[in-house]
Structure 1
């Protein structure tokens, strides 16, 4: 269950192109229904305990943190840039 979005996630999502925003919305809908869906490619980010990444497209990634209450979306954007600062 998605329980929140960081300000960084909100700002980054606003900067996405219309097409990427649509891809993100579809991926988050799928994520809410089944966080383990194979098309999302969800995996833990190395050297972290609670931060994970998911794939909205070949080049678009979103990061999230698992907390007791659910999921907090942390960042979204191009693969390399997003994973440098999850």
Structure 2
């Protein structure tokens, strides 16, 4: 298993604080699963078709997070929100 670092910018942290506590908890749970098994079915992890370097994963059926792989070991969370964020 590759050890990865997640960068969650302050702007994303501010957005997270506005979400219900349950969504915040599920976001961090999903990050942990993403580290262990990106193919985990409920993550619905996939590359964003309209982008060269952006990926997404589901937090719930209504919320998702978008990230960019900066290098083999570093993931930058670029957006989080409902499924209409893209």
Under TM normalisation by the shorter chain, which class is it? 0.7 to 0.9
**Helix, strand or coil: the match of 1:62?**
strand
Q: Which runs of 5+ in 2 are unaligned?
A: none
User: For residues 44-63 of structure 1, what are the structure 2 equivalents within 5 Å?
Assistant: 44-63=47-66
Superposed displacement of residue 26, structure 1: 1.3
Query: Is the counterpart of residue 35 in structure 1 residue 14 in structure 2?
Result: no
Superposed displacement of residue 35, structure 1: 2.1
Q: Which runs of 5+ in 1 are unaligned?
A: none
Poorly superposed stretches of 4+, deviation over 6 Å: none
Normalised by the size of structure 1, how large is the TM-score?
0.83
Matched residue pairs, number?
Answer: 82
